[in-house]
Amino acid sequence: MQNIKLIAMIVLLGNINVFAQSKTVIINSEILGEERQVLVGLPDSYDYDGETFKYPLLLLTDGEWHFDMVLRATKLLYQNGFPKIIVAAIVNTNRGRDLTPTNTEEIHASGGSQKFDRFIKEELFKNLEDNYRISNHRTLMGHSLGGLFATYSLIQDIDVFNAIIAVTPTIRWDDFKILEDFTPDFMDKLIQSKKPFFVGIGDEVGPEREGVVRLKELFESAHIPKFTYKEYLDESHVTVPWKAYFDGIKMVFNPFLLPEEYNQQDFSKTIGYYEGVGSSFDYDQRVPQRILFNRGYGALESDNVNEAKEIFEYYKQAYPNVPIPYTVLGDINFDLKKYKVSKANYDIAYKLYPTDYIKERIKTLEEILN
């Protein structure tokens, strides 16, 4: 089985290349009356996952500052069981204009969020949908004024984004005016939607902290489900996105981590769990390969051959181009003296990923069968 573990490491982990599959999209926006640049990061396996495979979208503002960081986070989290994700980051042209919902003397030409919001929902989404395989699950992320905008965008249309991650959002803008939009009617809609809403804050003081705390208290008093608030008192306004974005992504996609109790239940329960998660995220409904390998191999170590066969047969059907389940089933059936079944699995495994181990096994089986 050490041979299988080596194959698994190669197939399941691969190379973490955080800058692969990064593209720059140029959109001539009629709504904004200018050219906008959007940075797009695709999963490393994008070209190999198949034409029907779709990915959740993380959309963030301040793309020139945070794109590489967020893309790196999604790729590392994938190695720990989270889904593959497409990241799209909008590069600023006039940050103070686009990310502020009202005009004040604080920033010249502020108050352009309505147009910017329309640009995202009417032009940017269409471009991404036409050119990339994004699913219907979309998360909006923003820091500082970007967090203010993310909150504003949710209020404008609660149905567009499935989750919000707002890091140190500038709720204090225009004398905390945005808080007026959290009417009882909107709060009821937010409760019914059960959308994840993550708010993180660093070592802010004064009105910046007051605005975020007031938002927190408003959400907590209304018992908003899936609301998470986290403080990072050892991080400044500039550094807090590194930790908060990471935690926010984990919170939104936490359902992809299988609860421990499922490992003690019938394997069919695990299949049903991921069918449900995949459906809710408009994503792949198959049990992830890491879980299949770990649980299947664990069953073998516990001499539970029947469960191991069930798991690796499912693995073979779910991922027909992966050599691991064929090799394991070849081993299992070899030990059970089901030599024809064993050889059939080894033959496919060798075509997919030829190794000396499988070659020798096939040679031995040919001698036995002849």
Measured distance CA(185)–CA(190) in Å, rounded: 9
Query: pLDDT tens, 233-256?
Result: 999 999 999 999 999 999 999 999
Residue 19 pLDDT exceeds 50: no
Extract the tokens encoding 290. Answer: 């890491």
> Which domains can be identified in the chain, with CATH numbers?
15-256 (3.40.50.1820), 274-369 (1.25.40.10)
Task: Find the mean pLDDT for residues 69-81.
Answer: 94
40: part of which helix (H) or strand (E)? strand 34-41
From the number of C-beta atoms within 10 Å of its C-beta (0-12, 13-18, 19+), residue 324 rates as buried
243 Cβ partners below 8 Å, 6+ apart? 200, 232, 235
Extract the tokens encoding 334. Answer: 């070899």
Query: pLDDT tens, 263-301?
Result: 999 999 999 999 999 999 999 999 999 999 999 999 999
Residue 39 pLDDT exceeds 90: yes
115 Cβ partners below 8 Å, 6+ apart? 31, 32, 98
